[in-house]
Protein backbone atom coordinates (compact mmCIF):
# COMPACT_ATOMS: atom_id res chain seq x y z
CA UNK A 1 0.00 0.00 0.00
CA UNK A 2 1.48 3.28 -1.04
CA UNK A 3 0.28 6.77 -0.53
CA UNK A 4 1.29 10.29 0.21
CA UNK A 5 0.54 11.61 3.68
CA UNK A 6 1.90 15.02 2.75
CA UNK A 7 -0.61 16.39 0.25
CA UNK A 8 0.49 18.64 -2.62
CA UNK A 9 -0.26 16.02 -5.30
CA UNK A 10 -2.54 18.45 -7.10
CA UNK A 11 0.34 20.86 -7.63
CA UNK A 12 2.75 18.28 -9.06
CA UNK A 13 2.16 18.88 -12.77
CA UNK A 14 1.82 22.33 -14.23
CA UNK A 15 -0.87 23.19 -16.78
CA UNK A 16 1.78 25.12 -18.62
CA UNK A 17 5.04 24.21 -20.32
CA UNK A 18 3.80 20.94 -21.86
CA UNK A 19 5.45 20.70 -25.28
CA UNK A 20 7.54 18.58 -27.59
CA UNK A 21 11.31 18.79 -27.36
CA UNK A 22 13.22 19.45 -30.54
CA UNK A 23 16.91 18.69 -30.85
CA UNK A 24 18.87 19.28 -34.06
CA UNK A 25 15.64 19.80 -35.95
CA UNK A 26 14.18 16.49 -34.80
CA UNK A 27 11.44 15.89 -32.22
CA UNK A 28 13.04 13.63 -29.59
CA UNK A 29 10.32 13.63 -26.93
CA UNK A 30 8.18 15.91 -24.79
CA UNK A 31 8.55 17.83 -21.58
CA UNK A 32 6.39 18.98 -18.70
CA UNK A 33 6.88 21.23 -15.71
CA UNK A 34 6.90 19.53 -12.32
CA UNK A 35 6.84 20.67 -8.69
CA UNK A 36 7.82 18.57 -5.71
CA UNK A 37 4.59 17.16 -4.25
CA UNK A 38 5.64 17.63 -0.67
CA UNK A 39 5.64 20.18 2.12
CA UNK A 40 9.44 20.32 2.20
CA UNK A 41 12.39 20.11 -0.16
CA UNK A 42 14.47 17.00 -0.70
CA UNK A 43 17.99 16.09 -1.64
CA UNK A 44 18.00 14.65 -5.18
CA UNK A 45 19.33 11.25 -4.06
CA UNK A 46 16.11 10.82 -2.07
CA UNK A 47 13.90 11.12 -5.14
CA UNK A 48 13.78 7.39 -5.85
CA UNK A 49 11.58 7.50 -8.87
CA UNK A 50 9.50 9.66 -11.15
CA UNK A 51 6.98 7.83 -13.31
CA UNK A 52 5.26 9.33 -16.31
CA UNK A 53 2.44 7.72 -18.22
CA UNK A 54 0.98 9.44 -21.27
CA UNK A 55 -2.26 8.17 -22.80
CA UNK A 56 -1.60 4.76 -21.26
CA UNK A 57 2.00 4.54 -22.42
CA UNK A 58 4.51 4.18 -19.57
CA UNK A 59 7.75 6.05 -20.28
CA UNK A 60 10.80 3.93 -19.42
CA UNK A 61 12.79 5.11 -16.38
CA UNK A 62 15.96 5.55 -18.43
CA UNK A 63 14.12 7.87 -20.83
CA UNK A 64 13.22 10.38 -18.13
CA UNK A 65 15.46 13.24 -17.04
CA UNK A 66 14.99 16.14 -14.67
CA UNK A 67 16.37 19.63 -15.08
CA UNK A 68 16.72 22.01 -12.14
CA UNK A 69 18.15 25.38 -13.07
CA UNK A 70 21.03 24.72 -15.42
CA UNK A 71 21.66 21.12 -14.37
CA UNK A 72 20.07 18.03 -15.81
CA UNK A 73 20.06 14.48 -14.50
CA UNK A 74 18.73 11.10 -15.47
CA UNK A 75 16.89 9.35 -12.64
CA UNK A 76 19.81 6.95 -12.16
CA UNK A 77 22.25 9.85 -11.92
CA UNK A 78 20.07 11.50 -9.29
CA UNK A 79 20.56 8.52 -6.98
CA UNK A 80 24.09 9.72 -6.21
CA UNK A 81 23.46 13.47 -6.09
CA UNK A 82 23.67 14.35 -2.41
CA UNK A 83 24.76 17.97 -2.67
CA UNK A 84 21.79 19.34 -4.52
CA UNK A 85 18.24 19.90 -3.35
CA UNK A 86 14.88 20.27 -5.01
CA UNK A 87 13.20 23.06 -3.09
CA UNK A 88 9.42 23.29 -2.92
CA UNK A 89 9.57 26.68 -4.60
CA UNK A 90 11.44 25.31 -7.63
CA UNK A 91 9.85 24.09 -10.82
CA UNK A 92 11.75 21.31 -12.58
CA UNK A 93 11.57 20.44 -16.27
CA UNK A 94 10.93 16.74 -16.80
CA UNK A 95 11.94 15.51 -20.24
CA UNK A 96 10.65 12.21 -21.60
CA UNK A 97 12.31 10.71 -24.66
CA UNK A 98 9.74 9.52 -27.19
CA UNK A 99 10.36 9.16 -30.92
CA UNK A 100 8.49 11.92 -32.78
CA UNK A 101 7.03 13.24 -29.51
CA UNK A 102 3.30 13.77 -29.04
CA UNK A 103 0.61 15.07 -31.37
CA UNK A 104 -0.88 18.50 -30.63
CA UNK A 105 -4.01 18.32 -28.55
CA UNK A 106 -5.19 16.90 -25.24
CA UNK A 107 -3.23 14.13 -23.53
CA UNK A 108 -3.90 12.19 -20.33
CA UNK A 109 -0.83 12.41 -18.12
CA UNK A 110 -0.31 10.33 -14.99
CA UNK A 111 2.69 11.18 -12.87
CA UNK A 112 4.19 9.75 -9.70
CA UNK A 113 6.98 10.81 -7.37
CA UNK A 114 8.56 8.31 -4.99
CA UNK A 115 10.44 9.94 -2.13
CA UNK A 116 12.59 8.15 0.43
CA UNK A 117 12.01 10.35 3.47
CA UNK A 118 14.40 9.62 6.33
CA UNK A 119 11.85 9.83 9.10
CA UNK A 120 9.03 7.62 7.87
CA UNK A 121 9.12 3.87 7.36
CA UNK A 122 7.51 3.80 3.92
CA UNK A 123 8.49 5.38 0.63
CA UNK A 124 6.08 8.25 0.09
CA UNK A 125 4.34 8.00 -3.26
CA UNK A 126 2.44 10.96 -4.60
CA UNK A 127 0.47 10.71 -7.80
CA UNK A 128 -1.71 12.83 -10.00
CA UNK A 129 -3.60 12.50 -13.26
CA UNK A 130 -4.20 15.50 -15.44
CA UNK A 131 -5.29 16.30 -18.95
CA UNK A 132 -2.77 18.60 -20.56
CA UNK A 133 -2.98 20.31 -23.90
CA UNK A 134 0.07 20.19 -26.11
CA UNK A 135 0.34 23.04 -28.53
CA UNK A 136 2.01 22.61 -31.89
Partner 1 sequence: MIILNRVGVEKMSTTHQIKRGISLFSFQEKFYRGELSLEQCIAQAAAFGIDGIEMLPDQMLPGYPSITYNLTDQFVGQWNEWMLKYKVSPISFDIYGETKLYKHRPLTEQEILDQLIALMKTGKALGFKIIRLTIHLSYSIIEKCIPYAEEMGLLLAVECHAPHFMNGEWVSKNIEIIQRTGTKSLGIMPDLGTFSHRIPTVVIQDALRHGAQGHIIDYLIEVYNSRKTPKDLMDKIARMNGNAADMWLAQRVLIGVWVYHDPKHLLDIMPYIVHVHGKFYEMGEQGEELNINYQEIIPLLIKRGYKGYIMSEYEGQRLTQGMDVGYDEIEQVRRHQDMLKQLLGEKA
Determine how many CB atoms are found less than 10 A away from the CB of residue 120: 11
CB nearer to partner 1: pick between 97 and 117: 117
Give the x/- contact pattern for partner 1 in 32-61, rule: CB under 8 A.
Answer: ---x---xxxxx-xx-x-------------
Vertex 117 angle, CA 123 and 79, to 5°: 85
Query: x/- contact string, 59-98, with partner 1 (CB under 8 A)?
Result: ----------x---------xx-xxxx-xxxx--------
Tell me whether residue 11 is exposed, middle or buried, using C-beta atoms within 10 angstroms of its C-beta: 0 to 12, 13 to 18, 19 or more: middle
Residues that bind partner 1 (CB under 8 A): 1, 3, 5-8, 10-11, 35, 39-43, 45-46, 48, 69, 79-80, 82-85, 87-90, 116-119, 121-122
Amino acid sequence: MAGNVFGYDIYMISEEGFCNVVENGKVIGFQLLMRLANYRGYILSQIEDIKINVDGLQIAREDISLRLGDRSYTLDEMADVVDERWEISQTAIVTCLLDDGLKPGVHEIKAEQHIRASYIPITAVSSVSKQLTLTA
